[in-house]
């Protein structure tokens, strides 16, 4: 899920800030939501690019190979309490991107990093800011409250890293154009979500034989 077209795109940049994940699976959307908040509140010098990587997997390869520094936001199963943030850097990043298969995109991005390195990509810095998910099996769900409250801390960790990379973060004065589709804005996404009964997210009682059918 991404709003970035790959047609006639110059992939080269000094620093790539990448959010990956799937907004439709609850805490799997952490990486994208963190990227949205960073983009809404901060701007950077020329040569720093923010990208909604969604679940594109190997399609992200040219974007990764085109940068010298890479910062990643993602939901990562570290085996820790839900909402725990963990920062991993450089050679350790690929190992943590594949700790456990939570979804197709996570293994896919581990492959992106491996293929890029095999093809000669030699970045100056790679940093992963990962958040332990609390809820994943809620299709159409939003971030859990636990994970949602960790976004400001995740942005603080990212900004500390980006200051060190001379990305020159500055607070935005004027509102920025959204980095993801308007229909995916957090308040709209949560506000327009149908109830569990209307959406049959827990199963349709007409088929499961429960007392109250889904209507």
Phi, psi dihedrals of residue 137, rounded to the nearest 5°: -90, 45
Sequence-separated (6 or more) residues with CB below 8 Å from residue 101? 107
**Co-location of 94 and 144 in the same domain:** yes
Number of domains in the chain: 2
**Co-location of 211 and 114 in the same domain:** no
Choice between 8 and 90, residue whose per-residue pLDDT is larger: 90
pTM value? Answer: 0.82
Between 8-17, 64-73, 100-109, 119-128, the lowest mean confidence (pLDDT) is in 100-109
**Co-location of 85 and 162 in the same domain:** yes
Domain of residue 195 covers: 185-215
Asked, for residue 58, whether it belongs to a domain, the answer is yes
**Co-location of 123 and 99 in the same domain:** yes
Cα distance between residue 27 and residue 74, in whole Å: 10
**Co-location of 129 and 174 in the same domain:** yes
Asked, for residue 8, whether it belongs to a domain, the answer is no
Asked, for residue 53, whether it belongs to a domain, the answer is yes
**Co-location of 189 and 166 in the same domain:** no
């Amino acid at each position: 899920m991404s709003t970035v077209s790959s047609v006639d795109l110059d992939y080269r940049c000094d620093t790539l800030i990448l959010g990956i994940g799937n907004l439709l699976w609850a805490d799997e959307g952490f990486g994208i939501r963190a990227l949205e908040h960073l983009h809404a509140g901060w701007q950077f010098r020329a040569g720093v690019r923010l990208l909604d990587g969604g679940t594109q997997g190997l399609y992200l390869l040219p974007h990764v190979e085109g940068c010298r520094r890479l910062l990643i936001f993602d939901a990562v199963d570290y085996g820790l309490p839900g909402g725990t943030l963990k920062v991993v850097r450089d050679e350790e990043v690929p190992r943590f991107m594949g700790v456990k298969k939570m979804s197709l995109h996570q293994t896919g991005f581990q492959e992106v990093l491996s293929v890029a390195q095999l093809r000669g990509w030699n970045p100056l810095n790679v940093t992963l800011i990962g958040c332990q998910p609390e809820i994943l099996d809620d299709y159409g769900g939003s971030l859990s409250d636990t994970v949602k409250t960790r976004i400001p801390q995740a942005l603080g960790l990212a900004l500390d890293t980006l200051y060190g990379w001379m990305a020159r973060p500055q607070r935005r004065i004027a509102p920025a154009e959204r980095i993801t589709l308007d229909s995916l804005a957090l308040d709209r996404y949560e506000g327009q979500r149908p109830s569990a009964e209307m959406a049959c997210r827990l199963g349709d009682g007409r088929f499961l034989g429960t007392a109250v059918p889904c209507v």
